[in-house]
Every structure is written in C-alpha cells, then in structure tokens.
Amino acid sequence: MRHAGIFITLVALLAPATAPARTEGHVAQRAFLYEEDASNPKGQRYPGTVVWCLNRTRADDGTDDVEILGKVDIAAHRLKMIMSLRRNVDATLPASHVIELKFSLPADFNGGGISLVPGIMMKSKESAKGAPLMAQAVKVTDGRFMIGLAGAARYRVGNVESLAHREWFDLPLFYKTQRRGILAIEKGISGRQVFLAAFAAWGETAASTSPKSALNPPRCAQGVASRPSNGKQGQARKA
C-alpha cells in the first residue's frame, strides 16, 4: 500500500448472514476473520461480532470530546480487538484523525501473534473490493497499532467520506508465522449511527444531513477507557 507521507516516531503513545446479536445492551454487528489455509485455496472464514458505541472522552488539549469505539470478538480464535477512532488535536502530529487497534490473543494463537497491520480498507459491502484510506500505520507495542490518517486537505475529505458513509472495514493482518488474514468489520445500523454522530460532533459532516437516529447513537458505558490514563496520544515527525 502506498501512502502520501511517512509518519516516523510515535512517542509516549500511550458464513451466512445472521441476525444481529445483543451484547451488553448494544446490538452486535457482524465481523469475519479470513485466513490463508494451505489445504484450502479459498481460505477459512470465521464469523464474529462487533459492538459499536460513542465514548465521551477528553482530548489532549483538555476539551470535552467523543471517540468511536468498536469491540470485535472472533470467538473461534479467541481473538478480541478494540478499535478506537478520534480526531487529532496535537499540532505536532501530521494526522487528521488517529485510529488505534488493540488486539487480545490467546497464548496458543495459531498465527503466533500479529506482526503488522499495514493500513485500513473501506468498502460498501462484505464482498466488495476495498479502497485504502490515505494513512500510515505504525506498530506501537506487541498487539497494539496506531494509524494516522493523512492530514492534508486533499486526502482528509476522501478519508472522512469513506469513514462516514462506507459500510465495511477491511484490516489486512500479517501474522508472525508469515501467514496472512483479513479482519472484515461491519458498521451496521448502530455503527452508522455512531460514525455519523461523531463526525457531526467534530464538525466534519453537517448534522442536518445525518439521519435523526444518528442524534441518539449507542453510547459506551461510563468509565470505558480506550487508552492509558496519561492520555498523550503521541508525537510524530517526518524523516
């Protein structure tokens, strides 16, 4: 995947369709893990769920803010992931928004761990071909990745449009065993509500153009934290 810029140092970062399930009071949308399989040229497809919510938080500049949280669970692999999306208010970080991915894997995970998440693709439906967001991904620690969305105006508009209106995420995964996978995540009704509400709060999309349901999105339980309490999301410099 090619990117417009390179973000280098991040410091102090801290199956068939089924009816949506309900998890912790929220409606769970679909997620699927696709993996390469030497014995099956079509690979393997493992179903899972994602629960979206809008989280109240405090930005690094001290102002009240919101962030998007998605909690993914692929039960067959005991793979869990929390994806957070927040706007960037750190002028030293050349990114418009920051996506953080935190994986929780069992000790006997068959891929040995996740070594790389090179970027994020957006698509209109599960079977469609994805288009990449203009961004740069960095591994922070084992199982934790940060993706900075390009801050230049010509890329920001396209990224926001894709995030706000496309229905599925594709996260390419590279395992430590050299195998590859793709984590496909659906927004669904609750995800659409959360994304539209967040971008409206950030002034990225006009609230008047959003469905009325976006004005009352699923909200995260109080006390939910997507990152360490030091709150500093990071710094970056160009090479």
Q: What is the DSSP string of 171-211?
A: EEEEETTS-EEEEEEE-HHHHHHHHHHHHHHTTSS-GGGS-
In this predicted structure, the answer to whether residue 131 has a pLDDT above a threshold of 60 is yes
d(CA 165, CA 209): 12
d(CA 214, CA 30): 19
Residue 50 has which token pair? 């994602």
129 within a domain of the structure (yes/no): yes
Query: Which is more confident, 228 or 149?
Result: 149
In a domain, 95, yes or no: yes
Q: Is residue 177, in this structure, part of any structural domain at all?
A: yes
Element (DSSP H or E) covering residue 84: strand 79-87
pLDDT at residue 97, rounded to an integer = 96
pTM beyond cutoff 0.85 = no
In a domain, 5, yes or no: no
Measured torsion, CA atoms of residues 198, 201, 204, 205, in degrees rounded to the nearest 10: 80
Asked, for residue 2, whether it belongs to a domain, the answer is no
The reply to whether 67 falls in a domain is yes
Q: Is the dihedral of CA 187, 188, 190, 193 positive or negative?
A: positive
Report the DSSP pairing between strands 180-186 and 121-123.
unpaired
Task: Give me the domain span that covers residue 153.
Answer: 29-188
Tell me the per-residue pLDDT of 136-147, one tens digit each, with 9 for 90 and over.
999 999 999 999
Q: How many domains does the chain have?
A: 1
Answer whether residue 81 is part of any domain. Answer: yes
Report the range of poorest mean pLDDT among 104-108, 155-159, 191-195, 224-228: 224-228
Please provide the average confidence, as pLDDT, over all residues in the chain: 82
Looking at the domain assignment, is residue 38 inside a domain? yes
- pLDDT attached to residue 22: 47
